[in-house]
Amino acid sequence: RLWYEWRYLDQIRPLIHGPMLVKGILTAEDALLCIEHGAQGIIVSNHGGRSLDYGPATLEVLPEIVDAVKGRVPVLVDSGFRRGADVFKALALGATAVCLGRATRWGLAAFGVPGAQRVIEMIQAELVAAMAAAGRPSLADVNRSAVTVRFP
């Protein structure tokens, strides 16, 4: 028997003095259960592919989760974002924000805090370039019409 069940969110919610976000969501059904159990945000994540090597990519499942949530809570996404164009795709598919983990840790490991800062600056510049290439002058102009998605 697993130690974690949906009622676990109900049990820990009173102990959290801020927004409760749930990470590791890969289905619309689970996103809706998160909301039902008091989550104020969802992080679409496959944990960098380290938990299941056959799980879906987060960009694959992001649109259906965004559609199911219908703006009730922010939908963040992580797992595999290395370039500004990756961030552009996630924002176009409806992510509220993109979490950068490994890429910034590489910068931190190589050059300390300035290295992590530089990685963020590079990804931001790449995002601006991707937006310009797609004819999207502002974040408000980034939407699903900016990308073609044909996941199996």
Known catalytic residues? 47
Q: Are strands 41-44 and 21-25 parallel, antiparallel or unpaired?
A: parallel
User: Which tokens go with 131?
Assistant: 């937006």
CA distances from 117 to 7, 38, 104, 123, 152 (A): 39, 34, 8, 10, 36
CB-based contact 26:56 (threshold 8 Å): yes
User: Which tokens go with 145?
Assistant: 């019409």
Region for residue 49 given its phi and psi (left: phi exceeds 0; alpha: psi -120 to 50; beta: otherwise): left
